[in-house]
Structure 1
Amino acid sequence: MSVFIDCNNEGVEFVHAEAKSISVGDVLAASSDVPDFIKSFFQLDGASNYDGHSFPLLAVQLTVLADGIFLAYSFNHAASDGTSFWHFMNTWAEISRTKTTVPSRPPVHDRYFMDGVKPPLKLPFSHESEFLDRHSPPPLREKMFHFSSEAIAKLKAKANQESGTNNISSYQSISALIWRCISRARGLPEDKLTTCRVSIQNRAKLQPSLSPNYFGNSINTLCMTATAGELLRNGIGWAAWRIHEAVVAHRDDAIRGTVRNWMEAPVFYKLSLVDESTVAISSSPRFDMYGCEFGWGKAVALRSGSANKVDGKVMHYPGWEGGGSVDLEVCLLPKFMTALESDPEFKEVVSPAVPLQVHLP
């Protein structure tokens, strides 16, 4: 098998739908779980990257609600990572909003090949069953949690103080907190090995670095492990420092080594590998999500569909009010979500969802 993209100019699938019985307030569902009906706003539900052989690589659905609209994008992750996706969406919004014919950040389509690797990449498989995993998780609870800029600053200061450093970032502090609190909510035995998986982009880490406007997929996943006992006996600074060390070690040589190893023995990430001892963290509050403005005004909220939802999946979003605030989308089995909601360490940092009247005029 080999994989490549053959551009055929067929364009993007665009669907116009109506759900006049649903309001913006129903979608936001302040202080409660993310409503299940949101999944129906997204095209290609249940599709995998492999299905890009026959499905569009990007599908858009605009759903008209009783008092607003919901704009949903479904894209093939093999073609683009989060950095490129939000670059594309903001460019589309800029063209729509300003009627420009020359976007302010043209995408860089030049391909970057490591160590002589050239397409098409040949894979040691003869049938999709050898690598494709159509995972169907049990019923999950999905909920949005808000972190104010003030709460994050205190959390970051605590993590750095405990570690005797000033180098731990806000992202690393929040990731350490959610790793600890979810592991505690799961009631794992002290000797149970836990894993924290954090997505990280490679653009600035490579030498020479890739352009921030590079359109493609240039990410890796960092894996930090610790027993539940180690993770919970030590403070948040200990967990945050583990993540920080992994981020610092993710340099050009490490990235190239990962590529070489993968070329020698290709493996594919499967959602079924995320079990009750894993916390999988992705997306970034640095993505300019609320800047994606088509001329209709600033979006009132961010929500996602069903893709990649498993027990222990966590996604970072920027907070609506800006200023360094963050929203976390957390997916857990119901019993674990209930325990997380009452976790003292977690409750000390999170705050209620921003009231509806703050969002709407």
Structure 2
Amino acid sequence: MNSSPSVKIVSKCFVKPKTILEESKKPYYLSPWDFAMLSVHYIQKGLLFQKPLHSTDTLLDKLRESLAIALVHFYPLAGRLSAQINENTKSYSVSVDCSNSPGAGFIYATSDLCLADIVGPKYVPLIVHSFFDHNRAVNHDGLTMSLLTVQVTELVDGIFVGLSINHAMGDGTSFWNFFSAWSEIFQAQECNKTDELYLKNPPVLKRYIPQGYGPLFSLPYSHPDEFIRTYESPILKERIFCFSSETIRLLKAKINQVCGTTSISSFQSLTAVIWRCITRARRLPIERETSCRLAADNRGRMYPPLPRDYFGNCLSALRTAAKAGELLENDLGWAALKVHQAVADHTSEKVTQMIDQWLKSPFIYHIDRLFEPMSVMMGSSPRFDKYGCEFGMGKAMTLRSGYAHKFDGKVSAYPGREGGGSIDLEVCLVPQFMEALESDEEFMSLVYF
């Protein structure tokens, strides 16, 4: 890597929807799931491309033009949060103002880095955090900050397109639906369909509001200081581990055979591996409880189900737990069954209970309280078509994320670049645990180099 890599902001502007829809002139209301996200970070994910043959100025123009069209479909992302406070009744409400806003952010930056500086090192370099706007911002900051910022960073031989989206506006499904739609519109532009407004999977913007409630929810506070907490991650090592489609297939088959079933999924199998191996790397006392959580999409679990393209937050962090001793003394199938059971038990009734609980006693997620120390949290999903976002530059070389939501034991799952069921895991651990994981024969025997 260069001796002192840097990222220099060249220009900043705002992009508004190309067409102002009538519905965008009204307040846009949030659901209970969205309110719960006000004190966590923006979602920050991006793709690294080889530099295209045409000029960067041409690329930037096309990105801005297609973004303006994409924002017609996703107009709340061009707005700002708006707070309504009643100190007498101790109530704090938030909605989205889509009409009094400069729009979504668009940043152009340059760097003296090369592609090899990003994909070459064993650990993800910290400079990657500079490829994203809203560093360390929490979602409540959307009162004054853009709810979406695109940062395009030009490297010596590459382009990084990084998105920061306010997590109160949507979850990972919503994030990648937007990224894909924007790319789809860009590709349509390339075919000279400049005013292309048709999307294969248009977002469903109408938020889920439980019957008999809303549309505006209130938190029992009179000042944001009562419920907003900033979060600083410890010093972490971050590494991408790749698992080939063949390895994943064999792992799933082996675990299902051991358990005498066919119902344990590829991702549940891999989750069991990472939970056991990280627990072993931490050398926990045998009586110490360790938990494993998975981000689960609730859209299909609702009754009636929400549309697949529902735009907003609709997820739960499923939990299973075991004492470190029993997790390591039992075989991998035992751990996989624990993970599988947590998913199988997450029924529409459980989702309804969670919503009812929030309506009776509204709560806000805080990263330092949501996840126990010495736990493993599986975030994101290998099901999202992340490498389908091409922007006329071909398939991305790799995917990277920003500072947001990183702590010891945070694992993010991405589809492998080769496709076919391959999976990449972005693992964050404190240095001594990462070193121990890299010495774990069971784990490293599965990793593809």
Contact 1:12–1:56 (CA under 8 A) maintained in structure 2:
yes
- Within the alignment, does 1:188 sit opposite 2:246 as a pair? no
Per the normalisation by structure 2, the TM-score is: 0.76
Give the SS at the match of 1:74: strand
Give the SS at the match of 1:308: coil
- 1:223: Cα distance to partner? 1.0
Q: CA separation in 1, counterparts of 2:327 and 2:182?
A: 43
Of 427, 434, 440, the match for 1:330: 427
Match of 1:294 in 2: 391
Q: CA separation in 2, counterparts of 1:347 and 1:132?
A: 40
Between Structure 1 and Structure 2, whose CA radius of gyration is higher?
2
- 1:275: Cα distance to partner? 4.3
- 1:137: Cα distance to partner? 2.0
Match of 2:117 in 1: 26
Match of 2:410 in 1: 313
Match of 2:52 in 1: none
Match of 1:359 in 2: none
Give the letter for the 1:110 counterpart: K
Give the letter for the 1:125 counterpart: Y
- Within the alignment, does 1:49 sit opposite 2:127 as a pair? no
Give the letter for the 1:35 counterpart: P
Deviations 1:62-99 (A, max 9, x none): 00000010010111111111111111111111111112
Contact 1:280–1:312 (CA under 8 A) maintained in structure 2:
yes
Any residues of structure 2 matched to 1:2-81 within 5 Å, and which?
2-8=93-99, 10-19=102-111, 21-30=112-121, 32-81=122-171
Of 376, 379, 394, the match for 1:282: 379
- 1:345: Cα distance to partner? 1.3
Give the SS at the match of 1:135: coil
Q: CA separation in 2, counterparts of 1:266 and 1:223?
A: 21
- Within the alignment, does 1:248 sit opposite 2:344 as a pair? yes
Match of 1:84 in 2: 174
Any residues of structure 2 matched to 1:96-107 within 5 Å, and which?
96-99=186-189, 100-107=196-203
Q: CA separation in 1, counterparts of 2:434 and 2:213?
A: 44
Farther-moved stretch of structure 1 (56-65 vs 97-106):
97-106
Q: CA separation in 2, counterparts of 1:284 and 1:205?
A: 17
Q: CA separation in 1, counterparts of 2:154 and 2:242?
A: 27
Deviations 1:187-226 (A, max 9, x none): 1111001111111011111122111111111111101111
Give the SS at the match of 1:5: strand
Q: CA separation in 1, counterparts of 2:393 and 2:374?
A: 43
Q: CA separation in 2, counterparts of 1:331 and 1:129?
A: 29
Q: CA separation in 1, counterparts of 2:258 and 2:93?
A: 49
Q: CA separation in 2, counterparts of 1:117 and 1:192?
A: 42
Match of 1:167 in 2: 263
Q: CA separation in 1, counterparts of 2:225 and 2:274?
A: 34
Contact 2:291–2:372 (CA under 8 A) maintained in structure 1:
no
Of 167, 176, 185, the match for 1:95: 185
Give the SS at the match of 2:255: helix
Q: CA separation in 1, counterparts of 2:147 and 2:401?
A: 17
Of 190, 201, 210, the match for 2:297: 201
Any residues of structure 2 matched to 1:334-349 within 5 Å, and which?
334-349=431-446
- Within the alignment, does 1:178 sit opposite 2:274 as a pair? yes
Q: CA separation in 1, counterparts of 2:319 and 2:256?
A: 21
Per the normalisation by structure 1, the TM-score is: 0.94
Give the SS at the match of 2:310: coil
Contact 1:160–1:168 (CA under 8 A) maintained in structure 2:
yes
Unaligned runs of 5+ in 2: 1-91, 190-195
Contact 1:24–1:68 (CA under 8 A) maintained in structure 2:
yes
Farther-moved stretch of structure 1 (90-99 vs 116-125):
116-125
Give aligned-pair identity as a percent: 48
- 1:128: Cα distance to partner? 2.4
Give the letter for the 1:176 counterpart: A
Contact 1:180–1:231 (CA under 8 A) maintained in structure 2:
yes
Q: CA separation in 2, counterparts of 1:26 and 1:244?
A: 38
Give the SS at the match of 1:178: helix
Give the SS at the match of 1:254: helix
Give the letter for the 2:417 counterpart: W
Of 199, 218, 231, the match for 1:135: 231
Q: CA separation in 2, counterparts of 1:28 and 1:248?
A: 37
- 1:3: Cα distance to partner? 2.0
- 1:141: Cα distance to partner? 0.4
Give the letter for the 2:271 counterpart: S
Contact 1:45–1:306 (CA under 8 A) maintained in structure 2:
yes
Farther-moved stretch of structure 1 (54-63 vs 110-119):
110-119
Q: CA separation in 1, counterparts of 2:441 and 2:365?
A: 34
